[in-house]
Chain A
């Protein structure tokens, strides 16, 4: 996030796009409600009638994967009504002329044809967002999980820069991270192209620094992304895999392919707290301790580093993952000995400039937002205050591109995916919580009444959902929360998991798969199929 969570409640306008905030980030949603109570306007752009849409001033339902057309349309209106922030554009950005050229192709009527949002609504959104003193954009995977996800994000950055909504309180472009420590896993270098703190593996100076710190020869070749790993496992050039606390069988697109890929490994080691569907394929499974049974830190979506503290002893013989890694590494021939997570953190601070000023001692008093470079640095809740990391903010002129898989005769509907309020991700934790499980014990597919009547489906009938990659039989819920032509499923339930169907086509830059749109057809399930 460029800004902190508490600031949201002082924004004059909040624009939520591709984020089911009340479900995926409940405590951020409550800030939005509070902002509304103080008079803020709320715009929601989401193909589904999510809960936030009920209290929104405007809810627009864009077609799946048409966000660039919608945002370009909004910016076209802002320019034609002269609502852009000229001083900000002059002083702090470049590339404005190129953007202006492309935006000429998106008058609201034209944008409307692509995104399905009425032209008048595009105009209202543009006015509401641009006329606010401070406007904050919140987005999540509904923006990023597309083959043009990077285009979507850049378009939102364009919109914020065009109106000077960056680097000030209660503004910004704020991605809400879905998992508690996605931010931290990235910060720590859990990515194929960077060491901790996003320092490129291809940069020789950086590499030398880490070679000195770690006393080792390091590779300067960018590694494989998760989807490439799956491909190479199947094809045989990757032979072994070590998985710590992830369940790719449930969370990755095209489940049948992932299962086959992992089964092809000569050796698969999984560390987890439950016997997940991924762990079931392993050669060795090591029982990890849960968050309540160990010390450490998480970094949340606003870049706050927070302490995790041990409350109880690990169950059975399970051990914290840090302790398991040390032991495994030592037996492997690379001795690692750290007495405690605090010692590991001190090493992190040494090699990670943005964490350089942090220590367990300082975090004892409460969370601190990185960048925090020295022991007396107070932390940085707002990024890009006086300047952008690269100097001037760069506008990107972006044309709309359709999703990779559009519906056709054989697969006439479009599937989109997401979460439900009591559950989390692949359900390994929430389905093992009796209270949460009882809120929603099984999965289902949402279908619009128009489509349902054409298919002869009634509420609670069993439906068979088929895509080019697989099929799922699950209960149909007939609802107009979803638009005609679209269906919605979650990936919480292994036995009815949307990821059997989803498309692994990737964004060329971020390598994020297109979870949010794929072509499907729905049939009424035969009795025998429904019984499975």
Chain B
């Protein structure tokens, strides 16, 4: 993605400096000993939030398809998908 950024002539040095700084910072993070630290999947302190199994009203078909460019007979329409070879 970065390779796709268009740079004005003369800006190269400015961005090269910045990029080196970022890479240097990542190098510093790599020095940390994370051997005994479990991977963090979540930074929020809440856990085990479950919902009671109670049905609630759904959207109407009309509302559900409101953002779809060209629905047909209540279906979303997409370019053909060929399953079989």
Are both chains from one complex? no
